[in-house]
Amino acid sequence: MKIIKKHISIRKVAFIMLLTLLCTVSGRASVKLPVLISDGMVLQRDTKLKLWGWASENESIEIRFLNKSYKTTADSNGKWEVSLPPQQAGGAYQMQINDISIHDILIGDVWLCSGQSNMEIPIRRVLDLYQQEVSQINNPYIRHLKVPLNYNFEKTNDDLNGGSWKSATPENILDISAVAYFFAKELYDKYKVPIGLLNSSAGGSPIEAWLSKDALKQFPSDLQTAEQFAQVGYIDSIKAQEKKIANQWYSTLNQKDKGISDWFKSDLNTFDWGTINLPGYWVDKGIGNINGSFWFRKDFELPASIVGKPAVLRLGCIVDSDSAYINGKFVGTTSYQYPPRIYTIPLGILHEGKNSVAVRVINSIGKGGFVEDKPYQVIVGDESIDLTGEWKYKLGAEMKPLAPQTFFQYKPMGLYNGMIAPVIDYPIKGVIWYQGEANTSKSTEYSAMLSALITDWRMKWNRADLPFILAQLPNFMMAKEQPSESNWAMLREAQSKVLEIPNTGMTVNIDLGEWNDIHPLNKKEVGHRLALCAMKIAYDDKKIISSAPRYNSMVVDGNKITLSFTEIGNGFASTEKLKGFAVAGEDKQFVWADATTEGDKVIVWSDKVKSPLAVRYAWADNPEGANLRNKEGLPSSPFRTDNW
């Protein structure tokens, strides 16, 4: 009996030891890291590094990195953090945090890339300009993490709701921000230091969505809106109501659409259809401002010599959504107006002789149609068939306009809480900011908001000198024949005012836009100009000329006005005739003016204004032809000397 009891005692002790071991292992396995601290991450060089995460209460945390060990203990809430000393650029390295291994770590410069869609747009959207260059990209020392869209009004989030570090390699490059990549490439090529791109941007977002509650205290009405959306159940009630209305609208549309079952078929008889020249908006073509669905059809011929080759249907951009068919076969759909329509035509659909393309367009509010000055063609191999010109059309169903949905991510504070707050513990080199299109209708308060954002983010990162570089809005919309007022010009002016804040920079992009696209393709030059500013401000490269001459003051002399500038660099570029200047007298009516450079000055006059009082330059939504620039090719920022 005694022997048996001894065996039981030994088993009991062993069982207790096993439980203790399992609890220990289980406790160590409970460590959770934020999304940012993961495989492939880039850590900021030459500054103290903060690592953090969550674990069980009072759990011991050990970090092993570069042959050194750092220890701490989780607090009563399970939160822990560790500071590492500054590290030099290099990698790739491995880090161990308890039982978690983090691989392929680089140390270099991390840039926060924020704003709206022109910052967010990936390489795949600009391939029309950079197809050949993109095919050769393979740089594992440039890393990109896209912060998923997320908003919160009730509190600041502790972590991101997804995302991972991706290298600029062939398998990842198409999904990396175009502006951010070209910016990073310039920096890497010059300094040969790994670059991390923390891309926290959201299409269509206004600046107030990126302001914290602290920053919004300067703007009571926006703070009130944020607090309203923070009320429990408020957002859910709006979502439920809007979903019900939208579902009913589209359900009714599909029930009423007379062509939904067969107007896409290849053998359809269109004898009773109307004709329309495309591209263009149907209200401008005399059809009327009709919402609902329209069907468009066009026949085209193909020779036998190109049938069987890879083919693509290009349909420019369409307002709002479309579904496209070739010879009765569905080839693609896009749910909103901005993306370029590039649809692959599967082999076997095209044939010799007559082929047909059919497009169903749904427009829920405003003008519907096909955006002008975009590619509309069928591309087969190396040949293209033009689809512009005469099309057949027929109304599928007319509907009352659908009230626009509420974009909750556009409301004040939401994006800061969801997409900025979770990353402020991660040390960065600086910020590049491309935003403003969403605020052109209320540009008067934009300067104050941008200043508040810069100040607040610097406080949050505990970096009073944190470099902040913004991309000024490019040219957009149709150019006007005569000088006029402009919300876009006002917004550009508001952007330029923040340059009074130390350690800020701005790129001028009025020569890089497209009149018919709020998302211009030329992201490489935007990235280049942002990089020049970064070299000057963040890397303290004194030799860099990163900005064009900026207006400083004026002197009136008779019928002429002499303008003085700062940051002239190597001087004005020579040009036969300066364009984009306008002057006004006491009547405050601006007319186009002549202008010429004289050394470091610009002289402006007009024979129509004998006593000029004010000058404007490039003051338009689309200042087409404005050509004041320096010898380095950088355009001068739009400005006005009046404040009327």
**Distance between CA atoms of 496 and 508, rounded to whole angstroms?**
9
List pLDDT tens digits, range 159-177: 999 999 999 999 999 999 9
List pLDDT tens digits, range 427-440: 999 999 999 999 99
CATH number corresponding to 255-399? 2.60.120.260
What pLDDT is recorded for position 23? 47
Residue 293 has pLDDT above 60, yes or no: yes
Residue 28 has pLDDT above 60, yes or no: no
What pLDDT is recorded for position 9? 52
| φ/ψ of residue 373, rounded to 5 | 60, 40
CATH match of 109-230+408-537 with 3.30.200.20: no
List pLDDT tens digits, range 194-223: 999 999 999 999 999 999 999 999 999 999
- One-letter amino acid at 51 equals L
What pLDDT is recorded for position 22? 47
Nearby residues of 338 by Cβ (< 8 Å), 6 or more positions away: 117, 317, 517, 518, 519
The pair of three-digit structure tokens given for residue 269, joined into one six-digit string: 């008889």
List pLDDT tens digits, range 483-493: 999 999 999 99
What pLDDT is recorded for position 3? 40
What pLDDT is recorded for position 11? 54
CATH match of 2-107 with 1.10.260: no
Q: Residue 641: pLDDT band by 50, 70, 90 thresholds?
A: very high
Q: Residue 575: pLDDT band by 50, 70, 90 thresholds?
A: confident
Name the DSSP letter for residue 351.
Answer: -
414 within 8 A of 230, measured Cβ to Cβ: no
Q: Is 363 left (phi over 0), alpha (psi -120 to 50) or beta?
A: beta
Could you tell me the residue ranges of all domains in the chain? 2-107, 109-230+408-537, 255-399, 550-640
Residue 26 has pLDDT above 80, yes or no: no
DSSP string, 569-611: TT-BPP-SS--SEEEE-TT---EE-EEEEETTEEEEE-TT-SS
Cα–Cα separations (whole angstroms), residue 394 to 263, 274, 429, 487:
9, 6, 56, 37
The pair of three-digit structure tokens given for residue 547, joined into one six-digit string: 């900005």
What pLDDT is recorded for position 30? 84
List pLDDT tens digits, range 588-634: 999 999 999 998 999 999 999 999 999 999 999 999 999 999 999 99
What pLDDT is recorded for position 379? 97
Nearest by Cα to 275 from 393, 165, 195? 393
Residue 642 has pLDDT above 60, yes or no: yes
Residue 149 has pLDDT above 90, yes or no: yes
DSSP string, 203-245: TT--GGGG--HHHHTT-HHHHHHHHHHTSTTHHHHHHHHHHHH
What pLDDT is recorded for position 576? 74
**Distance between CA atoms of 208 and 215, rounded to whole angstroms?**
9
State the chain's mean pLDDT as an integer.
Answer: 94
Residue 17 has pLDDT above 70, yes or no: no
- Once rounded to an integer, what is the mean pLDDT over residues 176-183? 98
pTM for the whole structure: 0.93
**Distance between CA atoms of 525 and 169, rounded to whole angstroms?**
21
What pLDDT is recorded for position 29? 47
List pLDDT tens digits, range 225-250: 999 999 999 999 999 999 999 999 99
SS3 assignment, position 336 = coil
**Distance between CA atoms of 493 and 487, rounded to whole angstroms?**
10
446 within 8 A of 590, measured Cβ to Cβ: no
Percent of the chain residues topping a pLDDT of 90:
93
Residue 8 has pLDDT above 80, yes or no: no
- One-letter amino acid at 478 equals M
Q: Residue 27: pLDDT band by 50, 70, 90 thresholds?
A: very low
List pLDDT tens digits, range 495-542: 999 999 999 999 999 999 999 999 999 999 999 999 999 999 999 999
494 within 8 A of 446, measured Cβ to Cβ: yes
What pLDDT is recorded for position 608? 97
More confident residue, 80 or 17: 80
